[in-house]
Amino acid sequence: MRVAILAFDGFNEFDCFLPLGLLNRLADLGWKAELASPSSHVTSMNGVTVQAQRALEFANEADAVIFGGGLYARAIAENSALLDRLQLDPLRQLIGGQGSGTLLLARLGLLGDTPACTDSATKPWVVEAGVRVIEAPFHCRGPVATAGGGMAAQYLAAWMMLRGAGRQAAARALAQTAPVGETAQYVDRVLAVVSPRDAADRNRPAGS
């Protein structure tokens, strides 16, 4: 399972490094998550310059792709030369958007009529792109998921592990990164948010 975590200049560290740290806990099952960027180096929203592990085009061949958010998502969403380098396919890839990364999923036409999660600052732009935004930390339909709020990046990663490696593997990875003494509550809470039935309940209007 090769995972491309897309990091652009101004990227939010939570969006990229929470999934990177979690997904690579499944290295023994053949998972490898790497930062993919349009240039050799990118600088995070808080000024940390990182070396890209992969070119942007790695996303096209990866088994799963995560769009992290960042300071310049709106500019990237309007940069068709950049987005044209991406040819993703939900029939063979799991695809996730985190925070303002959801805007890029919208622009690439990957959301269809699926409601989506994003952060409050990005919401107007996602709505303008024709997508219904819900006030929830996580939503998935089939192979596409979105999450909103920095710490929700863990949900996106957990969903990907659940889909790609099963509940036991996802629970193990989460347990390895849980606060000491809080493992069971932490694992249960995260899996409850991203499990198919629970996610459906959460997004269903009250009373339906």
Interface contacts to a second copy, rule CB under 8 A: 12-14, 17-18, 20-21, 24, 33-35, 41, 46-51, 53, 117-120, 135-138, 147-152, 154-155, 176-183, 186
Helix axes 13-23 and 167-177, enclosed angle (nearest 10): 120
**Pick 24 or 79: Cβ nearer a second copy:** 24
**Pick 41 or 89: Cβ nearer a second copy:** 41
Min. distance of Cβ 118 from a second copy in angstroms?
8
**Pick 30 or 84: Cβ nearer a second copy:** 30
Min. distance of Cβ 41 from a second copy in angstroms?
8
**Pick 50 or 83: Cβ nearer a second copy:** 50
- Measure the CA angle with vertex 174, ends 172 and 175; round to 5°: 65
**Pick 109 or 184: Cβ nearer a second copy:** 184
CA of 46: how far to CAs of 12, 37, 64, 149, 167, in Å? 8, 17, 26, 17, 34
Min. distance of Cβ 150 from a second copy in angstroms?
4
**Pick 58 or 155: Cβ nearer a second copy:** 155
Min. distance of Cβ 109 from a second copy in angstroms?
23
Give the torsion sign (CA, 119, 122, 127, 131): negative
Min. distance of Cβ 84 from a second copy in angstroms?
27
Q: What gap in Å lies between CA 143 and CA 76, rounded to an integer?
A: 23
Q: Closest Cα to residue 88, out of 74, 100, 106, 114?
A: 106
CA torsion, ordered 26, 115, 134, 16, to nearest 10 deg: 30
Q: What gap in Å lies between CA 175 and CA 155, rounded to an integer?
A: 14
Beta carbons of 88 and 108 less than 8 angstroms apart: yes
Min. distance of Cβ 92 from a second copy in angstroms?
25
